[in-house]
Structure 1
Amino acid sequence: MILAEEPDIEVVGEARDGAEAIRVCEQRRPQVVLMDVRMPGTDGIDATRAVTALDGGPRVLVLTTFDLDEVVYDALQAGASGFLLKDAPEERLVTAIRVVADGGSLFAPSVTRRLIEEFARRRPRAPAGLPGLTERETEVLRLIARGLSNAEIGQQIFVTENTVKTHVARILTKLRVRDRVQAVVVAYETGLVTPG
């Protein structure tokens, strides 16, 4: 009902459980999937892993009543691009769908920093540096990891927002990651930035 009011969003399918969600994604090829975590049979984490592995698979926005670290961590590991609590305001849900469809990532404010720090703590890797990134790209990645938007990064390093977008695109390509969240995880894992 919420999404039916949005002229630029079309609901192409619904599913009762994870297995059906996978089938719907294979048949309908949606751009974005709103995935519940707790479902009968195949749960939302396994379904997320399966649909993001499809050729040209959709981006997944996980919806749950729980903001437990384990659930968030598992969703990110499975390939989710966003994570919202079901009690999020309607406008935040619609915004999150648009952000994820546009290639971005969006996580409930209550879990973002905690998630990244926990992920880095659980997945320690020897600092390997980030070969291939220019000095400016490394600086931009540090600012992304601090949670700054493109506009805020532009103000900080005195370049336009479009220039920042170009840097971000190059960073994602060079790191071979799908989105900003995964780039931040790499920054933490490699020791470029550290929790706290």
Structure 2
Amino acid sequence: MISVFICEDNREFRENLEKFLPRMGDILITGSTDTAEAGLENKELYNSNVLILDLEMPGRGGLWAISELAKVENKPEILVLTSFTSEETVFQALRDGASGYLVKGAGIKKILEAINDVSTGGTVIEPILATRFWNYFVSCSVTTKTDDSDLSETELEILTLVGKGLSNPEVGSALGKSRTNIKKVLARIYKKLGVNTRVEAVTCGLKRGLITL
């Protein structure tokens, strides 16, 4: 069962998520709030596997919450579910630590699939934005290796697979390693590169010429 916390100011939309997600999937709703500040003050958020987060809410909003959660060691995977579709907003949310980005209007089945994907270490991006996002990754690539950052061969291999969009279980399956092992290796990669998220790690690896996609 996947535990989910919801930060969404639209009461009807929030209550629909609370009602239909558990009915249609193996989901436990641990709590919900209508502001980002209230969510970050709720201990149940930190005990959840996934946080469904709107960006436009009263107060500081979702982007602030993502940046604050980036400072926390034990935090849920963040699935942004919002009406914002601007390229800049998408990139900022993913760079700062969101694992997925869906536009409101997505059906419950699609939201459930996204919850499952991000809960296992995957990255989910709205199809209309995905091409531009991966093109951004490619534009970061350089042809000359400038800094090895002390990454091992295994760490470079894992970073490359993450950059190609594989989730932690998929990376583990490809390399014959457990999901837990992949998560630990990713933590080491983040520390060596001085980053906090998958997107930052891949972008850094591409810019330094450590990996190619």
Cα offset, 1:93, TM superposition? 0.9
CA contact (8 A) 1:22 1:47 kept: yes
The separation in 2 between residues aligned to 1:78 and 1:153, in whole angstroms, is 22
Cα offset, 1:55, TM superposition? 4.4
Paired position in structure 2 for 1:57:
75
Change (3 A) 1:52 1:110: same
Instruction: Output the TM-score relative to the length of structure 1.
Output: 0.73
Cα offset, 1:119, TM superposition? 6.4
The separation in 2 between residues aligned to 1:140 and 1:50, in whole angstroms, is 27
Cα offset, 1:161, TM superposition? 3.0
Paired position in structure 2 for 1:133:
152
The separation in 1 between residues aligned to 2:165 and 2:106, in whole angstroms, is 20
Q: What is the correspondence of 1:35-46 to structure 2 with a 5 Å cutoff?
A: 35-46=53-64
Q: In the alignment, which of 181, 189, 194 is matched to residue 175 of structure 1?
A: 189
Q: In the alignment, which of 105, 109, 120 is matched to residue 127 of structure 2?
A: 109
Instruction: Output the TM-score relative to the length of structure 2.
Output: 0.68
CA contact (8 A) 2:81 2:104 kept: yes
Q: How many residues align?
A: 187
The separation in 1 between residues aligned to 2:114 and 2:78, in whole angstroms, is 11
CA contact (8 A) 2:163 2:202 kept: yes
CA contact (8 A) 2:39 2:45 kept: no
1:91 matched to 2:91:
no
The separation in 2 between residues aligned to 1:79 and 1:150, in whole angstroms, is 16
Change (3 A) 1:140 1:6: same
Provide the alpha-carbon RMSD of the alignment: 3.6
Q: Which runs of 5+ in 1 are unaligned?
A: 155-159
CA contact (8 A) 1:52 1:60 kept: no
Cα offset, 1:45, TM superposition? 0.4
Cα offset, 1:149, TM superposition? 7.1
Deviations 1:68-116 (A, max 9, x none): 1111122123211111112223222101112222233222233234225
Change (3 A) 1:193 1:52: closer
**What percentage of residue pairs aligned between the two structures are identical?**
30
1:163 matched to 2:173:
no
The separation in 2 between residues aligned to 1:150 and 1:52, in whole angstroms, is 19
Change (3 A) 1:89 1:190: farther
1:190 matched to 2:208:
yes
Q: Which runs of 5+ in 2 are unaligned?
A: 1-18
Cα offset, 1:47, TM superposition? 1.4
Structure with bigger strand share is: 2
